[in-house]
Amino acid sequence: MRRLQIVVMVASLALLAAACSEATPAPPAIDLADPDLTYDPVRAGDPLPEGYRQLLDRDQIAPIYDPKFVTPGEVDWPGDSLVIGVAGTETAKAYPVTHLNQREMVIDSLEGIPILVTW
């Protein structure tokens, strides 16, 4: 009986995985290099949360809007470099923490989906 339950569970997971992997239409492309096309809470008039203490004024650290990437063979970072990795079904990207220490945010996209990488 236990073996039958496991087989049924594995078959159910396989069906679920197949259903989740069906192609979905990609969202429309957004020009992430244009800050005017991204949501800006300051321009939108969103207030800061109650009791929120802010050390820097909003927008004091500009995000990276147009990151540049190289192939893995072209990377010259030390082997123990810390990165934030993001992977899709066909693409993977690595954002080095040493760069994020200075700018803290990258507005990018992965396979046509807008993402925000932050440190």
Q: Which amino acid is at 80?
A: D
Position 10 confidence tier, pLDDT thresholds 50, 70, 90: very low
- What the block records as the tokens of 3 is 């073996």
Q: What is the DSSP letter of 47?
A: P
pLDDT tens column, 65-75: 889 998 888 98
- Most confident range (mean pLDDT) of 22-26, 28-32, 73-77 is 73-77
> Could you tell me the pLDDT band of residue 61, with boundaries at 50, 70 and 90?
confident
Q: 37 to each of 1, 66, 113, 117, how far by Cα in Å?
A: 58, 13, 14, 18
Please give the distance of CA 116 from its chain centroid, rounded to a whole number: 5
Cα 78 to the center of its chain, rounded Å: 23
Residue 1: what residue type? M
Dump the DSSP string for 51-102.
T---SS-TTSSPPBSS-----GGG--S-TT--EEEEE-SS-EEEEEHHHHHH
Check: pTM over 0.85? Answer yes or no: no
Rounded to whole angstroms, the Cα distance separating 100 from 119 reads 6
Residue linked to tokens 């500009």: 62
